[in-house]
């Protein structure tokens, strides 16, 4: 339990940030899942839009510090290369 006013405030901030980060992380996971499903189905047009939205969500989460920048770049790169292979 927090014993000082500053510690109580930090606890309130932690709760708010955890909720926000959880929502962003969940949205990113959903976008990645949709993109991978579209890539697996083989429709290039649908896959292109879903990969684009997933990469945007990853970049947004990385800029907010929810996920690591390199983790976002790695996921984006893997999806983009899969999309490139599908387009060929």
Domain count, the chain: 1
Residue that is written with structure tokens 């500053």 in the block: 6
Query: What does the alpha-carbon distance between residue 14 and residue 44 come to, in Å, rounded to a whole number?
Result: 42
Structure tokens of 43? 């429709």
Contact residues for 14 (Cβ-Cβ < 8 A; gap 6+): none
Q: Compute the residue count for the chain.
A: 88
Provide the residue range defining the domain that includes 18: 5-87
Report which secondary-structure segment, H or E, holds 15: helix 5-41
Own/partner pairs, 62-65, CB within 8 angstroms, 24+ separation: 64/21, 64/24
Q: What is the pLDDT of residue 2?
A: 83
Q: How far apart are CA 72 and CA 25, in angstroms?
A: 11
Please give the pLDDT value at position 71.
97
Report the CATH number that the domain containing residue 23 is assigned in CATH.
Answer: 1.20.58.110
pLDDT tens string, the chain, 88 residues long: the values are 789 999 999 999 999 999 999 999 999 999 999 999 999 999 999 999 999 999 999 999 999 999 999 999 999 999 999 999 998 8
């Amino acid at each position: 339990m927090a014993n000082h006013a500053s510690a109580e405030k930090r606890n309130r901030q932690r709760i708010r940030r955890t909720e926000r980060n959880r929502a962003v992380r969940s949205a990113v996971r959903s976008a990645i899942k949709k993109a991978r499903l579209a890539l697996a189905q083989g429709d290039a047009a649908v896959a292109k839009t879903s990969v684009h939205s997933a990469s945007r969500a990853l970049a947004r989460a990385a800029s907010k510090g929810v996920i690591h920048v390199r983790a976002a770049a790695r996921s984006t790169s893997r999806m983009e290369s899969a999309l490139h292979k599908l387009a060929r």
